[in-house]
């Protein structure tokens, strides 16, 4: 079969695919079910399960809040109830589900089957099996915390994250969310530091509220709503692209004439195949108790988003890991592949994971809700100023928290917030804080109703702040949105750093308030002292303008804001004892754990980049150069014939010369890259800087030359699926 016929057949296969329609989805006995009818049906949460008494539930929750050991007999009851529930649902196995430093979840499945003394088969889930497991710690990324012969590690049941059933193939598995630590108790996962950060922030926040006279507050929760962006392409194209299979992104590819210039894909009507995928995704999320709220087309062609309702940060973190896996698994069932890489296609928008962050107390109040009169809400203004100061004080570590090889392609690329960390507050809040600093009285607008001059439309109230999509960290009305997080990374790490940063400033704020109150000052005056102090100190990090502009880069430099452009530049912050001291003092990370993460992140960065470089070289040798040679051979045959006929040959000769020039330069630069790869230094730290500042720019130059070759070669001779195929055919 000719290459052209094969490519046309491939396109026809994709275009002719029918949507995956599941009869009976969200139905019972032929009748449609409401979401609330099946929401959480695959979730086991001891806090609401009917098989346990309210007394046991209450006492277990009290043990969790107080950090006390739960009575063994209670754990036995939970284990037995979970086993009966899971088996009743058809489960045959259980596993400790955890999040090692791979970026993915991990598990080891065990059967419920055990044998009695008489060798009779029974199903069992013991308290010890529920509470603790022992995976091989040395086989996961550990950054030197373990050696090959030091293999023991522990998984420990997280009582605050519900168990869930996962349906795979021909069976079901009960997944028990757990933390993962080494034999010596060092965190080797995403969850453990996050849980610590949530606890420490709650401790300081409760102290803050008690100091300002709100004695009913005894617990503060970090809440989070993660938006997940992703691309979908047909699997027929995916498996014809070695770069997508090996690295998750296209390492070369000429942009189609039309991409996202018309903004017609954003919020556009979802195609039938994709909406069928989204409906199944939502259905499975609801069954797992994941509150999917929004789904839509994103800016780039082939790009989409799903967003969840706010909930406890630890649970939101677990849910996001599950969602990423669900997106991939369900896409396969629809003959598509989901790309979660931050930049799968050059020239169009990549994918992020906007991390909406707020705080709520045990009374159910959102602590970042400004109320109707934010200028009089001193508690809100103080908390908001604390968050801004936290972002200002620890901006470099917050930049590090979102540093990945994939995210480097987005940040500062006029499609995502820049690598310069800044805070957007909006017009109203900015004016309130400036009034406080000047000692003036803030005067709000009398009428915030917009006159649209169309009586047919409902009245529209203007929000107290606009939205700034160019800001890394933006206040959006009743929460902050950390917009710089990458689409493929677990949210637990940036959440842990952000929580610890806020805890650090909260602790100092409590000391200031206590001191002010001891001098006889009123609560509002003490809060104003905190507000003035932090806003004066952090004014340099507040920026309400266009974060994509070159002018901002210059102004940020004048303000003294750091600009860590690559992950290699950002990772060393983890080794700076002064900049990371607050993480150790709050107990979120130990020095050893910070060293572990630095080593893991740098090694992962280098490894992923080297895979990219080697894949690129292979594709050039296997696809690009051969296609160019084949076309040149055809051109030479034509040129030879034209010489024999003595006819004009300027068009063919110009094409031949242009293609030869591109290929000669491509060959030279590819040889340079091969040489660099053969001479790589062993030291991982030095290697990361060399990779980031020399090899990545070189690979980008090579990619541009490949694109130029692709633009010249006829479609029938180009064996790789093109951007046109992958982005527009489905």
pLDDT at 416 over 80: no
Max CA pair span of the chain: 104
Domain finish residue from 139, 174, 189: 189
| Band of pLDDT at residue 115, cut at 50, 70 and 90 | confident
Cβ within 8 Å of residue 725, ≥6 positions away? 10, 11, 14, 237
CB atoms within 10 A of CB 313: 29
**Average confidence (pLDDT) over 202-229:** 94
Cβ within 8 Å of residue 574, ≥6 positions away? 397, 400, 580, 594, 595, 597, 598, 601
Angle at alpha carbon of residue 202, lines to 201 and 203, rounded to 5° = 90
Predicted local distance difference test score (pLDDT) of residue 316: 96
CA 95 to chain CA centroid, nearest Å: 24
pLDDT-wise least confident of 296-310, 374-388, 409-423, 620-634: 409-423
Predicted local distance difference test score (pLDDT) of residue 2: 58
**Average confidence (pLDDT) over 392-419:** 89
The answer to whether the CB of 96 falls within 8 A of the CB of 108 is: yes
Predicted local distance difference test score (pLDDT) of residue 403: 95
* Averaged pLDDT score across all residues of the chain: 90
Domain membership of residue 410 (yes or no) is no
Q: Which residue has the tokens 């790589």?
A: 680
Predicted local distance difference test score (pLDDT) of residue 467: 64
Angle at alpha carbon of residue 495, lines to 146 and 284, rounded to 5° = 95
Predicted local distance difference test score (pLDDT) of residue 161: 94
The answer to whether the CB of 230 falls within 8 A of the CB of 303 is: yes
Helical axes 696-712 vs 591-619, angle rounded to 10°:
30
What is the SS3 string spanning 654-691?
Answer: HHHHHHHHHHHHHHHHHHHHHHHHHCCCCCHHHHHHHH
pLDDT-wise least confident of 13-27, 573-587, 708-722: 13-27
CA 132 to chain CA centroid, nearest Å: 28
Domain finish residue from 189, 220, 251: 189
335: closest CA among 228, 230, 237? 237
- Number of independent structural domains in the chain: 2
Query: CA 140, CA 107: separation in Å to the nearest integer?
Result: 12
The answer to whether the CB of 190 falls within 8 A of the CB of 158 is: no
Domain membership of residue 181 (yes or no) is yes
Predicted local distance difference test score (pLDDT) of residue 466: 59
pLDDT at 387 over 70: yes
* Distances in whole angstroms, Cα of residue 33 to Cα of each of 26, 286, 291, 387: 5, 12, 16, 42
Domain membership of residue 620 (yes or no) is yes
Give tens-digit pLDDT for 144-190: 665 555 667 899 999 999 999 999 888 999 999 999 998 888 999 99
Predicted local distance difference test score (pLDDT) of residue 207: 96
* Distances in whole angstroms, Cα of residue 89 to Cα of each of 12, 76, 148: 41, 20, 39
707: closest CA among 671, 676, 667, 666? 666
E strand residue ranges, 607-687: none
Domain membership of residue 434 (yes or no) is no
Domain finish residue from 163, 189, 215: 189
The answer to whether the CB of 526 falls within 8 A of the CB of 360 is: no
Domain membership of residue 215 (yes or no) is no
Question: What percent of the chain has a predicted confidence (pLDDT) above 90?
Answer: 65
99: closest CA among 65, 141, 66? 141
Predicted local distance difference test score (pLDDT) of residue 148: 54
Token duo for residue 63: 């043990």
- Whichever domain contains 616, its CATH number is 1.20.120.1560
| Band of pLDDT at residue 291, cut at 50, 70 and 90 | very high
The answer to whether the CB of 11 falls within 8 A of the CB of 258 is: no
pLDDT at 87 over 90: yes
The answer to whether the CB of 380 falls within 8 A of the CB of 373 is: no
Predicted local distance difference test score (pLDDT) of residue 32: 87
The answer to whether the CB of 486 falls within 8 A of the CB of 343 is: no
Token duo for residue 700: 């980008």
91 vs 376, more confident: 91
| Band of pLDDT at residue 461, cut at 50, 70 and 90 | low
* Distances in whole angstroms, Cα of residue 122 to Cα of each of 84, 118, 534, 640: 12, 11, 62, 82
| Band of pLDDT at residue 468, cut at 50, 70 and 90 | low
pLDDT-wise least confident of 17-21, 26-30, 235-239, 245-249: 26-30
Q: Look up the domain containing 82 and give its range.
A: 39-189
Q: Which neighbouring-strand residues pair with 356? A: 225, 481
Q: Helix or strand or coil: residue 226?
A: strand
| Band of pLDDT at residue 567, cut at 50, 70 and 90 | very high
| Band of pLDDT at residue 307, cut at 50, 70 and 90 | very high
443: closest CA among 460, 456, 431? 431
**Average confidence (pLDDT) over 461-469:** 61
Half-sphere exposure of 202 (CA within 13 A, CB side): 20
Cβ within 8 Å of residue 493, ≥6 positions away? 190, 193, 194, 401, 597
Cβ within 8 Å of residue 224, ≥6 positions away? 310, 311, 312, 313, 316, 317, 355, 356, 357, 358, 491, 495
326: closest CA among 47, 42, 729? 42
Query: CA 284, CA 306: separation in Å to the nearest integer?
Result: 13
How long is the chain?
Answer: 730
Query: CA 257, CA 260: separation in Å to the nearest integer?
Result: 10
**DSSP string across 229-267:** EEEEEEHHHHTT-HHHHHHSS-SS-PPPS-SSTT--STT
The answer to whether the CB of 208 falls within 8 A of the CB of 706 is: no
Token duo for residue 572: 């060393």
Helical axes 650-678 vs 625-645, angle rounded to 10°:
150
Q: Which residue has the tokens 């979908």?
A: 232
| Band of pLDDT at residue 556, cut at 50, 70 and 90 | very high
Token duo for residue 228: 């997940």
Q: Which neighbouring-strand residues pair with 187? A: 181
| Band of pLDDT at residue 433, cut at 50, 70 and 90 | confident
CB atoms within 10 A of CB 622: 13
Q: Which neighbouring-strand residues pair with 358? A: 223
pLDDT-wise least confident of 202-206, 495-499, 633-637: 633-637
Angle at alpha carbon of residue 645, lines to 643 and 647, rounded to 5° = 75
The answer to whether the CB of 46 falls within 8 A of the CB of 159 is: yes
pLDDT at 302 over 80: yes
CB atoms within 10 A of CB 53: 10
Token duo for residue 80: 């037995």
Query: CA 83, CA 437: separation in Å to the nearest integer?
Result: 60
- Whichever domain contains 175, its CATH number is 3.10.20.70
Domain membership of residue 694 (yes or no) is yes
H or E stretch covering 175: strand 171-182
Predicted local distance difference test score (pLDDT) of residue 268: 85
Predicted local distance difference test score (pLDDT) of residue 143: 67
Beta strands 473-475 and 423-424: pairing type? Answer: parallel
**Average confidence (pLDDT) over 36-57:** 90
Predicted local distance difference test score (pLDDT) of residue 453: 56
Domain membership of residue 554 (yes or no) is no
Predicted local distance difference test score (pLDDT) of residue 432: 87
Domain membership of residue 588 (yes or no) is no
């Amino acid at each position: 079969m000719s290459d052209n016929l094969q490519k046309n057949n491939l396109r026809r296969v994709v275009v002719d695919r029918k949507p995956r329609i599941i009869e009976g989805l969200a139905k019972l006995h032929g009748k449609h079910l409401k979401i609330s009818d099946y929401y959480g049906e695959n979730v086991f949460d001891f806090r609401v399960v009917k098989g346990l008494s309210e007394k046991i539930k209450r006492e277990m929750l009290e043990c969790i809040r107080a950090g006390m050991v739960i009575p063994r007999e209670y754990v036995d009851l939970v284990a037995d109830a979970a086993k009966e529930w899971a088996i009743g649902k058809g489960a045959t196995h259980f596993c400790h589900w955890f999040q090692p430093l791979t970026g993915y979840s991990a598990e080891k499945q065990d059967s419920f089957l055990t044998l009695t003394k008489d060798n009779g088969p029974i199903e069992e889930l013991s308290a010890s099996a529920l509470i603790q497991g022992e995976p091989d710690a040395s086989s996961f990324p550990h950054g030197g915390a373990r050696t090959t012969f030091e293999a023991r590690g522990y998984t420990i049941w997280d009582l605050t994250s519900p168990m869930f059933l996962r349906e795979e193939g021909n069976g079901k598995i009960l997944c028990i969310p757990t933390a993962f630590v080494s034999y010596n108790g060092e965190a080797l996962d995403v969850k453990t530091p996050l849980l610590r950060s949530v606890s420490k922030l709650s401790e300081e926040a409760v102290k803050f509220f008690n100091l300002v006279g709100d004695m009913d507050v005894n617990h503060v929760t970090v809440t989070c709503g993660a938006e997940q962006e992703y691309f979908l392409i047909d699997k027929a194209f995916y498996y014809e692209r070695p770069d997508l299979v090996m690295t998750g992104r296209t390492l070369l590819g000429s942009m189609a004439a039309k991409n996202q210039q018309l903004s017609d894909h954003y919020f556009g009507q979802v195609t039938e195949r994709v909406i069928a995928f989204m409906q199944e995704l939502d259905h499975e999320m609801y069954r797992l108790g994941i509150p999917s709220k929004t789904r839509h087309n994103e800016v780039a062609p082939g790009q989409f988003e799903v967003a969840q309702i706010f909930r406890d940060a630890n649970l939101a973190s677990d849910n996001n890991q599950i969602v990423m896996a669900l997106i991939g698994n369900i896409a396969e069932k629809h003959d598509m592949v989901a790309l979660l890489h931050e930049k799968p296609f050059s020239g169009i928008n990549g994918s992020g994971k906007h991390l909406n962050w707020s705080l709520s107390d045990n009374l159910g109040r959102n602590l970042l809700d400004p109320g109707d009169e934010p200028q009089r809400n001193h508690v809100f203004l103080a908390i908001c100023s604390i968050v801004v100061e936290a972002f200002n004080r620890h901006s470099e570590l917050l930049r590090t928290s979102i540093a990945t090889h994939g995210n480097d392609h987005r940040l500062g690329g006029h499609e995502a917030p820049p690598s310069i960390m800044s805070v957007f507050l909006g017009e109203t809040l900015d004016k309130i804080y400036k009034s406080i600093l000047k000692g003036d009285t803030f005067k709000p607008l009398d009428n915030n109703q917009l006159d649209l001059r169309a009586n047919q439309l409902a009245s529209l109230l203007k929000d107290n702040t606009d939205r700034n999509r160019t800001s890394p960290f933006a206040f959006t009305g009743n929460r902050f949105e950390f917009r710089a997080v990458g689409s493929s990374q677990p949210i637990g790490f940036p959440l842990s750093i952000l929580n610890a940063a806020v805890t650090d400033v909260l602790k100092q704020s409590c000391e200031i308030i206590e001191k002010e109150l001891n001098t006889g000052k009123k609560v509002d005056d003490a809060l104003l002292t905190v507000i003035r102090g932090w806003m004066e100190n952090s004014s340099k990090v507040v920026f309400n303008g266009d974060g994509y502009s070159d002018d901002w880069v210059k102004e940020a430099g004048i303000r003294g804001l750091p600009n860590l452009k690559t992950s290699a530049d950002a990772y060393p912050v983890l080794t700076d004892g002064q900049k990371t001291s607050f993480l150790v003092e709050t107990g979120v990370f130990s020095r050893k754990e910070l060293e572990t993460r630095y080593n893991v992140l740098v090694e992962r960065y280098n490894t992923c980049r080297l895979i990219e470089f080697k894949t690129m070289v292979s594709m050039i040798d296997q696809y690009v150069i051969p296609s160019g040679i084949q076309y040149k051979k055809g051109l030479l045959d034509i040129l030879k014939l034209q010489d024999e006929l003595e006819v004009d040959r300027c068009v063919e000769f110009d094409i031949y010369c242009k293609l030869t020039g591109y290929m000669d330069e491509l060959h030279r630069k590819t040889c340079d890259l091969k040489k660099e790869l053969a001479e790589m230094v062993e030291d991982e730290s030095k290697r990361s800087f060399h990779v980031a500042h020399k090899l990545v720019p070189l690979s980008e130059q090579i990619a541009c030359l490949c694109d130029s070759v692709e633009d010249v070669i006829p479609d029938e001779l180009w064996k790789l699926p093109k951007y046109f195929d992958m982005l527009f055919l489905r």
